[in-house]
Amino acid sequence: MKRLFILKRAFVINRIMHRYGLDEFLAPTPLSKYGLLFKLFALSRNKKHHLDRGERLNLALTELGPIFVKLGQMLSTRRDLLDDDLAESLAKLQDNVEPFCQQIAIETVEQQLGSPLAEVFESFEQTPLASASVAQVHSAKLLNGDEVVVKIIRPGIKRKILADLKLLKILAEWFEDYSEIGKRIHPKQIVADYQNTLFNELDLRIEAANTTQLKRNFEQSDLLYVPKVYWEFCRQRVMVQEKIHGVPIGKIDRLLENNVNMKKLAHHGVEIFFTQVFRDSYFHADMHPGNIFVNIDDPANPSYIAIDCGIMGTLNQSDKRYLAQNFVAFFNRDYRQIAELHVQSGWVSSKVSIEEFESAIRTACEPIFGKSLDEISFGHFLVQLFQTARRFEMEVQPQLVLLQKTLLYIEGLGRQLYPKLDLWETAQPFLKKWLADTYGPKAAFNKMKQKAPKWLEELPDMPEKISAFLNASSNQSNQQISLIKSIDSLKQSQLSSGKRIRWAILGLTFILLSLTSSPEWLAIEWVKGLLMGLSLTSFVVSFTA
């Protein structure tokens, strides 16, 4: 059944790829020699030959479904890896996917809210404001006059997602079971995590909760604004939140026309990212340009507006500490510490040579140290890192996959906003301060101060607790002594048994020797040997019992 499903889905993908004339993308690969075979099985012909390749790729990914659309969204930020025509076309996937029927949108809202539109909204724009892979958004105005947007999940989207996830799971199982690289990168766990994030996107109540939490995290900050959620109008497939006004971050020309300080905007973006990851352990993990806007009310000091919090990432304290220490070690060019940290965290086996690993890291990192984004080939850098990972069997950490994806988005956006941005210079002081605040002497003192009331409360009971602990330790020591004696007794018993067995074997040997005597031996010698063996065996066994 699995193979049949894969073949069926592969047939559909092949048909769509050929329909949009995308077989040209196979030209640089070994698959190009099978191009004629793919065309025969496609059972369709290129009907979009008048469109350029970027537009055709956009349409194909849209037809293939949300998982492929999200892949296109991420690729659209990587202008260093894609030609301009492809990047421009894929950027349209961020908020310009073909919308679904207006009547279905209205029926979904009324069914979810349990009321006609007129009882909730003063006005409701039937033409969507934006349309993405999982949902689309309509402008509206509540009866109290508040301007809002209404987000509605696409009909039938869950079925399409389940179909693609099923294919991904099968491929991940095969990859992990039959490939050494697959065993290292844990594709099954990665797909399972991706499934959870996608399912979370299908429940807008989860997104509403995520949005509320992110807004609370930045309430005291001027760097990031998160719109208000109207909880009374939020359901599984419908969410209502404040309408924001800003310039999409991908509209670089508009930002420049309004004299926005692009350097400061880029620096603020890096600071927001590291604040979310290290201070809050809660970061927006879908930061493609369609979800990020810029408030240009004060062009000299611009701020960000974030929407679409369906996918959020978290890190535990251990991962945060090791990540921050790795970053700081990199800033200090302390490649040995990076190697040791990877071993200590369990990301790399303790059997590897620290010296060799340190040398490999230095080779990958030195060419990009201290350079701005426009001087760095991240594509080449990532290839080197993957080769290093493969050489030292470094395991991919599933909990870091979302973070890695977000870093790609951040780097892609930074490249567009301010190519001269020095990521290291911007991030280093923040990370050093975070490490000092979290693990330095002051942090230790604060932790002790927080726990002091509890310690004082327990202080009167401490003598009894210490006495109970010592008694328990004493009992444990007695039990250990008793166990040691039992082990010694068992050893003596085994030695004694061994002696009995050896003598018994010796007696049996005499018996066997007598039985194997040649017929030429005298009968009396045969009888004497038999009696001697039997007597010796019974004597030794009874004596050593």
Residues 6 or more apart from 324 whose CB is under 8 A from it?
Answer: 278, 431, 434, 435
Distance separating alpha carbons of residues 78 and 386, to the nearest angstrom = 18
Q: Write the single-letter amino acid at 504.
A: A
End-to-end distance of the chain based on CA atoms, in angstroms?
A: 66
Burial label, 43 (beta-carbon count in 10 A; 0-12, 13-18, 19+): exposed
Counting Cβ atoms within 10 Å, is residue 464 exposed (0-12), middle (13-18) or buried (19+)? exposed
Tell me how far apart the alpha carbons of residues 133 and 224 are, in angstroms, rounded to a whole number. 25
Residue 497 class from Cβ within 10 Å (0-12 exposed, 13-18 middle, 19+ buried)? Answer: exposed
Helix-, strand-, coil-residue percentages of the chain, each rounded to 5 = 65, 10, 25
| Pick from 214, 210, 209, 239: nearest CA to 226 | 214
Alpha-carbon torsion, ordered 167, 169, 174, 180, to 10 deg: 130
Helices then strands, counting H and E runs in the chain, come out as 21, 11
Question: Residue for token digits 């006005």?
Answer: 123
CB atoms within 10 A of CB 239: 28
Q: By three-state DSSP, how is residue 238 classified? A: strand
Q: Where are the beta strands (DSSP E) in 404-525?
A: none
Catalytic residue, candidates 286, 308, 374, 422: 286
461 carries an active-site annotation? no
The Cα–Cα gap between 517 and 533 comes to 14
Is 214 in contact with 229 (CB distance < 8 Å)? no
Between CA 303 and CA 296 the distance in angstroms is 7
Say if CB 364 and CB 388 are below 8 A apart.
yes
12 token code pair: 């559909």
Instruction: Give the relative orientation of helices 66-76 and 53-64 as an angle to the nearest 10 degrees.
Output: 140
Q: Which residues are catalytic?
A: 286
